[in-house]
């Protein structure tokens, strides 16, 4: 089984000296807007915009969108002006902060070893900075960003590491591959607790070996992986919190995977018996509206409801999904999913029911089927993207 290894960046792969680096970063960024903009006003806008990103639960907007929509009105700037300013800052000013950081001696040998094992390597850093800044920090760690299958940045991601939906989005962007997953990092809340809330196994990276088997330096992480039972690292997504995180993440995952496709790619059918991406997203949209929300509503009527599961596979042909606008269908699916998540807020997850296919069940299991349906179709979309 191929291991998916999620690696935090700051203080895990790179000695960032956060107590020095983050204040210096904010000072440099604030100064870069002077003298046109007052420093206190800029700092206030930056702080508010970062907070908005940290707490965002909006699957329809990237963290860059969240930042820009908060920052630009406060500063009286257009998004184009902000983008231009950011490009200059991260190409000319941000590199001067490298001296605050330092390479960790174990980082490069560890990553080279992990790559030689054919692990799927991911930089799972909090996606609050742009792509150029994050790639620079990976290079400051003595690494080549192209060694990693995915690096999370604010242009592409919709949730911060404070939310388990971040980890669901990360795994979704990797195609929800079945198999072992391990998250390694140094932050007990963002790297450990948040990942564990989704159902992932974690390893705490600290300066010295810890008393627990799942803690220590990168050399200890290597030994832990070498002796690990990979079967035990396969995550379970059965808890209410994990199910919610997956459901929240799916529109974000699809946005990240499908944004920027051409009309031809949306309609492409590598094999005649496969769905196109347009048909797949239309299926998700209509199942959300007509099946998932109906099933949730049945639980609100009292007793032990019977949960039907109509055959939706025939809808693609009967409804002419291939003629739809795939991007519009994705927006409609995202809106429908937001409505579903709203319905879940007041639901009793222990309510019993009878399912047309699975027999005796309860609300948690029925909603879990919805999350599994999401994962299967994200896998399908990921596979399709590799063929077109």
Beta strand ranges found along the chain (DSSP E): 4-7, 14-15, 102-103, 120-123, 150-151, 181-185, 201-205, 215-216, 306-307, 352-355, 359-362
For the cut 60, the answer to whether the pLDDT of residue 210 exceeds it is no
Q: What percent of the chain clears pLDDT 90, i.e. is strictly above it?
A: 89
Integer CA distances (angstroms), 345 to 240, 340, 348, in order: 11, 9, 9
Residue 188 DSSP symbol:
I
Residue-wise pLDDT tens digits, 149-204? 999 999 999 999 999 999 999 999 999 999 999 999 999 999 999 999 999 999 99
Q: For position 212, what pLDDT does the model report?
A: 56
Residues 6+ apart with CB under 8 A from 202: 182, 183, 184, 185, 191, 192, 195, 196, 214
| Total-model pTM | 0.95
Q: For position 207, what pLDDT does the model report?
A: 63
Instruction: Pull the structure tokens for residue 368.
Output: 């879990």
For the cut 60, the answer to whether the pLDDT of residue 335 exceeds it is yes
Q: For position 365, what pLDDT does the model report?
A: 96
Q: For position 381, what pLDDT does the model report?
A: 97
Burial of residue 215 (number of CB atoms within 10 Å: 0-12, 13-18, 19+) = buried
Could you tell me how far CA 387 lies from the centroid of its own chain? 23
| Nearest-angstrom CA–CA distance, 299 and 366 | 10
Q: What is the crossing angle of helices 240-258 and 326-344, to 10°?
A: 160
For the cut 70, the answer to whether the pLDDT of residue 337 exceeds it is yes
Q: For position 275, what pLDDT does the model report?
A: 94
Stretch 288-297: mean pLDDT, rounded? 96
Residue-wise pLDDT tens digits, 17-71? 988 999 999 999 999 998 888 989 999 999 999 999 999 999 999 999 999 999 9
For the cut 80, the answer to whether the pLDDT of residue 292 exceeds it is yes
| Nearest-angstrom CA–CA distance, 272 and 285 | 22
Q: For position 93, what pLDDT does the model report?
A: 96
Beta strands across the sheet bearing 215-216: 150-151, 120-123, 4-7, 181-185, 201-205, 215-216
For the cut 60, the answer to whether the pLDDT of residue 361 exceeds it is yes
Cβ-based neighbour number of residue 345 at 10 Å: 7
pLDDT band, very low/low/confident/very high, at 125 (cuts 50, 70, 90)? very high
């Amino acid at each position: 089984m191929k291991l998916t290894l999620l690696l935090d960046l700051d203080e895990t792969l790179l000695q960032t000296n956060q107590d020095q680096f983050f204040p210096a970063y904010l000072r440099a960024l604030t100064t870069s807007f002077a003298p046109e903009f007052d420093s206190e006003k800029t700092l206030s806008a930056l702080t508010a915009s970062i907070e908005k990103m940290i707490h965002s639960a909006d699957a329809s907007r990237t963290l860059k969108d969240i930042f820009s929509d908060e920052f630009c009105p406060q500063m009286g700037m257009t998004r184009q002006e902000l983008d231009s300013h950011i490009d200059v800052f991260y190409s000319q000013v941000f590199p001067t902060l490298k001296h605050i950081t330092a390479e960790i001696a174990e980082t490069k040998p560890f990553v080279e070893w992990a790559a030689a094992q054919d692990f799927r390597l991911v930089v799972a850093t909090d996606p609050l900075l742009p792509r150029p800044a994050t790639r620079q920090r990976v290079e400051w760690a003595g690494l080549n960003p192209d060694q990693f299958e995915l690096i999370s940045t604010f242009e592409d991601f919709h949730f911060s590491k404070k939310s388990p939906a971040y980890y669901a989005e990360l795994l979704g962007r990797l195609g929800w591959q079945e198999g072992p997953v391990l998250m390694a990092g140094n932050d007990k809340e963002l790297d450990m607790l948040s990942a564990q809330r989704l159902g992932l196994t974690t390893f705490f990276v600290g300066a010295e070996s810890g008393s627990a088997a799942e803690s220590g330096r990168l050399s200890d992480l290597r030994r832990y992986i070498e002796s690990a039972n990979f079967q035990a690292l396969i995550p379970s997504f059965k808890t209410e919190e994990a199910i919610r995180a997956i459901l929240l993440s799916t529109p974000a995952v699809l946005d990240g995977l499908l944004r920027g496709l051409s009309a031809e790619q949306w309609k492409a059918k590598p094999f005649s018996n496969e769905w196109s991406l347009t048909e797949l997203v239309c299926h998700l949209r209509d199942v959300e509206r007509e099946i998932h929300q109906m099933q949730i509503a049945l639980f609100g009527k009292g007793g032990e409801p019977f949960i039907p599961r109509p055959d939706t596979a025939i809808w693609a042909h009967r409804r002419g999904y291939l003629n739809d606008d795939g991007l519009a269908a994705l927006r409609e699916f995202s809106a429908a999913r937001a409505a579903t998540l709203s319905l879940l807020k007041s639901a009793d997850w222990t309510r019993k029911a009878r399912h047309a296919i699975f027999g005796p069940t309860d609300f948690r299991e029925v909603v879990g089927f919805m999350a599994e349906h999401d994962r299967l179709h994200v896998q399908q979309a990921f596979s399709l993207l590799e063929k077109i």
